[in-house]
Structure formats: structure tokens, C-alpha cells
Chains A and B, each alone.
Chain A
Amino acid sequence: MREIILARIDDRLLHGQVVVKWIPHLEADVVIIVDDELDNNPFLKKVTLTAAPKTIDIKVTSVDNFSECFKNVKGRILLIAKIPQVFENLINQGVEIKRIVLGGMGSGDNRKNLYRNIHVSTEEMASLIKLADTAEVDIQIIPDDKPRNILKI
């Protein structure tokens, strides 16, 4: 069985909230971090993999190599990327993503505050709205929070 149970957008990628809250909550078996920059930086990649909890399978991949990486995993999968465009790209590649949550998008880079710690630029917002056509897109920082649908904000 290979199923993407959740895709999360977070600048900080594999952050404390993911490790302490989301992974146990989702009972995920695999976390795939889709990020070109991280995949190309051997030091940061090594830090990320070393810091990851040992009880779970963690993969780091670039957008282009995603399908290759996806083939080699099994179980309940959590995807993490920094920006929504990554998931848009994956969906165009034919990957099935049903639910996307926004967990943390920092201020800066022409981003405007959307809700609490979620800041988005115009391009990102356009991409999120496009994603909302095929998937359920919510702001939900940790599992204990009530999901807020992106289209209703």
C-alpha cells in the first residue's frame, strides 16, 4: 500500500510540529521532503536526515526526482514542501494529493499576512487556489487546531 495521507506546506520543512505532533497523529510511515535546495545542499541534507526521528523513514528529493523516490517507499506518506507550487507541479505529474495543509510560511519576500504565521505572495495564493480545485486545502498548524479552509478566508 502506498498512500499520500497529507501534504504540508512549511518553510521549516521537518519542523518540531511535524515531528512531535503530525507524525504521531497521522501514524505516518514515511515523510518525503520535496525541496530542490535541500536536495542540492549536502550539509543541510545530512543535518535534516540525522535530526529526523529514527522511528520513521525520511526521504529528501528534488521535484524532478520525486517519482523515482516515490516508487521506493511504502505505507502512509506525509509530503512536505516549502511552497504550494511544488505540489502543483507534482499533481501535474500525476501524483494524487487529496489534502494539503498550510503549517508555516514566514513573512518577507513580498508575502502578505493571511492568517497568524501564514504569509503568502500573490503567486503562491494563485497556486493555492488552483490546488483547491483538486484537493482540500486548509490552514492547520498542528493537528489540535481546527482546519480553516483556504477558500473561506
Chain B
Amino acid sequence: MTLFNYIILGIIYFIGSSTSFTFGVGYYTLYRSVFSGLITGFALGNPAAGLMAGALTNILFIDFSSTGGSLKGDPCMAGILSAMAAIKFDIMPAAAISLSFPISMIGLVLWRYRLSINSIFIKNLKRTIDKDPEKAISINNIYLPQLLLLAISIVLVSATSWFLYRFGSMVLGRFPEMEIVLNTTGIMLIILSSSSAILWFKYKYNIIMFSVAYLVAVYFHFDPYLVLIVIMLLSAQKRKTMDMEKYVSPRIGKKEIIRSWMVWMNFTHSCYSFEMMQGVAFSHSMIPVLKKLYKGKKDRKDDAIKRHLEFFNTEPNVGSSIHGYIIQMEDRMIDDRQISGPMISDHKKGLMGAVAGMGDFTTQTVIAPITILGMIYGVVTDEISMFVFSTLVMIGTVMFLSLKGFFDGFYYGEEGVLRRVNLPNEIKIFKYSHKIFVVLLGLVAGESIYTILSATGIGALTGGSAALLLLFIIFNYILRKGIELKLLVLSIYILNIIFLIIR
């Protein structure tokens, strides 16, 4: 590993954890282990190994959700480190996972302090806003926080990966048999996290559905495309067309709305702070609209920008109908004396909470986990086209939903917002989404375990993989009894090391 390598890993981490400049999809792609592993693989000259390590790492984070800003771990960091370990030490991917997973927890530190650190930029923004609001916002929402994040990322990841490299070289150099122990630990971690992920949704037959899917994967190796066709058939439905009056504005058209959408999608979280959450980004996204509305009236435009600079937090993609609706209100305010700034603010605040709940449900518990499972499924079954397809579905869904939210909110106002909020009830596949998740997870777990075991060259592969199902059931039982996940992870590590010493 050269210094250049370390810096590149830092930049990969920055791109993933920044979530900016990527139209809102970075958080669901580049931030996830499967992608950060792949890119690390490219950087270190072995994309295939990086992708496999990243995909298997991602199973540990399959029920990852950011609601509340507190995370179970850092998928991006874990993906980078696993890929690096798999490539540089030339060890089996499951061994790379268990070696890097505990070390990747350091990434949590960044998330923990990022929201506090960004308050500096809020203060700076408040200080400079009166001179030139547009400039103040773009400097404090984009450049300064992103530069700081880049610097922190490079330092943090270089240090962490350097430590992993030294530590791994030492341990694996002195005790080569450690690889087998780490491999077993990795397999157990994957089994444990899948057993825990099925508890995400309460349903009596979860474990049975999971087990059947697991065994089917191990014994028959379904073509992932067959599974895809089933999911497609389940989701096929005709959408009702809108039968609502369209709002027409002489001032605001598609162009302004798309510009506003682009700003929002790229910079929602670039200055994410406890003080304002996405408030700066909201104000930033209104600039293209306000510029058009108050052309030649600089004072009124600046006042409006400042008016929007307040606490705001919602689910950024599904919640975008709020933006459309607020743009409509801003536009109507030009002619309608009944609408006032405080009234717009009240609507914004009233909507953000309600929409956030269903939005988080939609993206973080349905769209993201299912498409990411599709990606991992493609990788472990060696169907790269399936990986690419799932990625495209994810990117397409996020971008379509968010842009459509802007349009629906603007053109159909209250009706548009209500329709968006009703989305999970309207789309048929949402009703089965939990079951699809459990079955897919079973298939992915089965294929993953099979792939890992075949890399170790164990005879009687199928029987061995099938027998491991017992471990899933045991873990699931223990977790349901209320034993903490953390405790189980720790005991897996300790047990495996004890076994090594005894031997």
C-alpha cells in the first residue's frame, strides 16, 4: 500500500459519505458496501475481488437505516476495508469481512460529530447572509462543509486503512491459520446479521419463508432472472391516471422546477446539522424559483431566501412533493394577499413530519433493501448483469420519485401531496414488500454461504451449506429471546479466537 493508495481510499470514502453531487442516489449506491467495495477494487487493481468482498459485507448492513441519524455501523467504510483486506492480503472474502468489520466502526465517529461540526457553517452563514444570500448559501452549503468532509475523510480512512494493513499483515504473517478462523467468523457474522434482519418485520412465518428460500438457493441455484420475473409480475399494475385540475403559472415552468430539484437532490445533506438539518438545502433549492419570481427585486428575493432558512427535515426523495407544493404557494403569493410567509413556513413544517414517516418506510425499508439485495444476488451468483440491472432500478426509482414529487406538488397542490402520501397504499407491491425481502434474503444468504464455502474448497458443499441453516434458526431464536446483537457479535469473535488458541 502506497501513500497514494491510502489517499485514494479516503477520496472513495468521501464520495460515498458525502452523498452530494450524485442526485440523491449516492446514499443508496456509493455509500453502500457493495459499491464502495467495487470502487476500492478498481483502485487497487482487482475489481472482482473488491466487488465480492463488498457484496458480502453489505449483507451485514442489509437492514441498515439512517432514521434518526444513528447508524449500526458504517457500510461505506466496511466495504472499503473489506475490499482492501481481500485484495492486499489475498484472503477469502468472508475472512476479509470479519477482519475489517470491527475496525470499520471508527466511521461512526464521523457521523456522530458531523452534525455538530456543521454548526460552524450555520453560524458562518448567519453572519454573512445579509450581504449576499445566494453566495453565502452556496459557500456554506456546498464548498466549506464538503471540503472539510474531504479532509476528514482522507485523514480518517488513511489512518484506519493503514492500521488495518499493518495489523492484518502482522497477524496473518505470524499466524497464517488465522485466515480460517476469520473465515468462520465472517460466515457466522453473515448468518447472524441475516437472522437479525428477518426480525425487522414482525410476521409469524418469516423464519419458515427464509429457510425454504435458503434451501432452494443451496440445492437448485435459481437463476436470479427467474426471481426477477416473479417480482416483476407481482408488481405489475395499472396506475390510475390523475384526474385533477392542473395549476398553471405564468412565471414558473418545468425549467425552474427541474433546477430546484437538481439543487435539492445534490445538496440535501451537504451541510446537515443538528440546528437546521436540511434547512439550508431547502432554502438553497428555492433559489432558482425565487430568482424567477422576484426578477429585478433583489430585496424581496433575498428576504424570501432568508425566510426559508429554517429547520427542515424530511425524507428527501419521497418527501419532494413538499417542495413542489411550497413552490406553488410561493408562486401564488405573488398575486394572492391571503398567503403569507409564516403561512408557507407552517405548511412546510406541518408536512415534513407526516411525509417523513411514510417516506422513510418507502425508501429505507422497501426500495433500498430490496434493490440492494438484487445487487448482492447478482454478485454472489456471478450474474453481473443482474447487479447492473438492480442498480439501474434503484437509481431510476429514486430519481423518478423525487422529480415526480416536485411536479405533483407544484401542478396539483394539495391533491398532489395527498397522492404522494398515499403511495404505499396505492402500489400493490408494497403490500408484499416484507415477504419479498425475507425470501430474497434467504436466496441471497444461501447463495452467499455456498459461494464462500466453495472458495474454501470444502467437499460436500451442498450438504454443508444446507446444514448451516440450523445456525440461522438458532441465532434467530436467541435474538427473539431479546439477547442483544452486539453481544452476539462479540461472542462470535471471542469464541473463534478461543478455538484457535485451544487448537
Q: Give Cα A140–Cα B327 distance, bound, in whole angstroms.
A: 34
Q: Is the CB of A50 within 8 A of B353?
A: no
> Shortest Cβ distance from B31 into chain A, in angstroms?
18
Q: Is the CB of B353 within 8 A of A13?
A: yes
Q: Give Cα A51–Cα B354 distance, bound, in whole angstroms.
A: 6
**Binding-face segment, A19-27, A66-74, A91-99, A121-129:** A19-27
Query: Is A53 interfacial (CB-CB < 8 Å)?
Result: yes
Query: Is A144 interfacial (CB-CB < 8 Å)?
Result: yes
Query: Is A152 interfacial (CB-CB < 8 Å)?
Result: no
Query: Is B311 interfacial (CB-CB < 8 Å)?
Result: yes
Q: Which residues of the partner chain B approach A41 to less than 8 Å between Cβ atoms?
A: 350
> Shortest Cβ distance from B66 into chain A, in angstroms?
10
> Shortest Cβ distance from B137 into chain A, in angstroms?
17
User: SS class of chain B's interface: helix, strand, loop or mixed?
Assistant: helix
**Binding-face segment, B12-20, B76-84, B183-191, B418-426:** B418-426
Q: Is the CB of B274 within 8 A of A15?
A: no
In residues 47-62 of chain A, which contact B (Cβ within 8 Å)?
A: 47-48, 50-54
Q: Is the CB of A48 within 8 A of B277?
A: no
Known: A16-B357, A16-B360, A48-B354. A106 touches B422 (CB 8 A): no
- Which of these, B349, B357, B360, contacts A52 with CB under 8 Å? B357
Known: A11-B349, A44-B350, A108-B310. A51 touches B358 (CB 8 A): yes
- Which of these, B275, B347, B354, contacts A14 with CB under 8 Å? B354
Query: Is A145 interfacial (CB-CB < 8 Å)?
Result: yes
Q: Is the CB of B354 within 8 A of A47?
A: yes
Q: Which residues of the partner chain B approach A142 to less than 8 Å between Cβ atoms?
A: 67-68, 70
Q: Give Cα A71–Cα B357 distance, bound, in whole angstroms.
A: 26
Q: Which residues of the partner chain A approach B347 to less than 8 Å between Cβ atoms?
A: 44
17 A/B residue pairs, CB under 8 Å, sorted by A? A11-B311, A15-B357, A16-B68, A16-B356, A38-B350, A43-B414, A47-B351, A47-B355, A47-B417, A48-B354, A51-B357, A51-B421, A54-B425, A107-B311, A108-B311, A117-B275, A145-B70
Q: Besides A11-B353, A47-B355, A51-B354, 13 other CB < 8 A contacts?
A: A11-B349, A12-B356, A16-B356, A16-B361, A19-B360, A20-B67, A20-B364, A37-B350, A54-B425, A106-B349, A108-B310, A141-B68, A144-B68
